[in-house]
Amino acid sequence: MDIRILYARRVRRIFVLCLASLWALGLTGQSLSLDSCYAMARRNYPLVQQFDLIEKSKALSLENAAKGYLPQLAVNGQATYQSEVTRLPISFPGLNVPELSKDQYRLFGEVNQPLTDLFFVKEQQDLIRANAALETQKTEVELHKLRERVYQLYFGVLYMDARLEQAQLLIKDLEAGLAKVQAAVAGGVALKSQADQLRAELLKARQQIAELKSGRRAYAEALGLLTRQNMDEKTVLETPAAPLPATEIRRPELAMFGAQQQSLVQQSRLINNKTLPRLSAFFQGGYGRPALNVLSNDFDPYFITGLRLNWNISSFYTSGNERQLLSTQQSAIALQRETFLLNTRLAVQQQQAEIAKWQELIVSDGEIILLRESVKNTAQQQLSNGTVTTTDYLNYVNAEDLARQQLILHRMQLLLAQYNHLLTTGN
């Protein structure tokens, strides 16, 4: 029979056993998937609270900017003493012209309603939204790194589980061989030292299980710390299916670069607004001496209303340089984006080659395991009549165990490489 057909049957049998084991463990412990672990890690990660802070900051800033639609209120007062006052350069007999006091007082309030600035408030609000979107994308970039940490820990646990399963198979082979040798010793065709040799290897295999359990516990505790879940030896992590390959790059860094460009566009619009004239309507009402009648030396109320035009010509001094500075920053961001895409495409290419390598190794691993298993089974039967030594049998068992460990390692490396490929592309 073709060796590939034998290998396929073997894989199906192992797959059924694994499903049965997962079902049995599920009766006593919780079962978690890769997606659920990442969702819990993201939900419990302290940095996630940054999203709420960004939204609150944005809401407050937008509310403050909207106050630009409201009239601006001001109250002013002054008391002065001046060395000279206004006098009429004429005099008439019998006419007493009052002389103004040199101490003068004024208290007034002013209501100023911007007119042209109403069109600039929206630009300020757009800049606030752009900056908030930029901060959000920066947070998403940091959270993308969290996914990589979850992957490393999750697949670390799966790798230890697979190694533990293989270690149990090794113990069964050693126990079966020990039973054969003990029977041969009882029949006088084998030495007791051969049985002792197998017992020593059996103890060594059990030590390996203890080490693997300790390593699994370390991975599980670290993953539990991220997800805030109590993970123990009863916690079952589901082996994820192999993901479909992705070609389009959707990393959060690209959205961050876009948000940076949009923020600079909004800043450029505000520079244009600084060079425009401002028109406003105002109303000023007050009480003082003198009031609007500068020849009156009495305290009187007064008011003034009208339109006011302001144009800060000096803003043209720096507006050109500010635009050039923003243009330079936009060019720098474009270069950063191009560099990031190039590095990401190189990483994707390397990962694709790595995935192809693991796939080829897994196929050859299956063929090697079938050959090693066949040799081991033959040697196990020969232990009864003493035609094979215990040392030879142990060599065959260890060779098969090493081949199976290589298959386990290559499978985990393939699965991790496939999910790292998704991580690199942002899918």
* 229: CATH: 1.20.1600.10
CB atoms under 10 Å from CB of 341, counted, come to 15
Does residue 328 sit within a domain? yes
Does residue 284 sit within a domain? no
pLDDT (0 to 100) of residue 19:
44
Does residue 305 sit within a domain? no
Domain that holds residue 248: 116-276+313-425
pTM summary value: 0.74
Does residue 319 sit within a domain? yes
pLDDT (0 to 100) of residue 390:
79
Amino acid identity for residue 308 in this structure: R
Does residue 94 sit within a domain? no
pLDDT (0 to 100) of residue 2:
45
Does residue 76 sit within a domain? no
Does residue 304 sit within a domain? no
- Digits of tens for pLDDT over the chain (427 positions)? 444 444 444 444 444 444 444 444 443 457 888 999 999 999 989 889 899 999 999 999 998 888 888 888 999 999 999 888 877 666 666 666 677 788 889 999 999 888 887 778 888 899 999 999 999 999 999 889 898 899 989 989 988 888 888 888 888 888 888 887 888 777 776 778 878 888 888 898 899 899 999 999 999 999 999 998 888 788 888 888 888 877 788 999 999 999 999 999 998 888 888 888 888 899 999 999 888 887 778 889 999 998 988 888 887 888 888 889 999 999 999 999 999 999 999 999 999 999 999 999 999 999 999 998 998 888 888 876 777 777 888 888 888 888 888 888 898 889 888 988 988 888 7
Number of domains in the chain: 1
Does residue 211 sit within a domain? yes
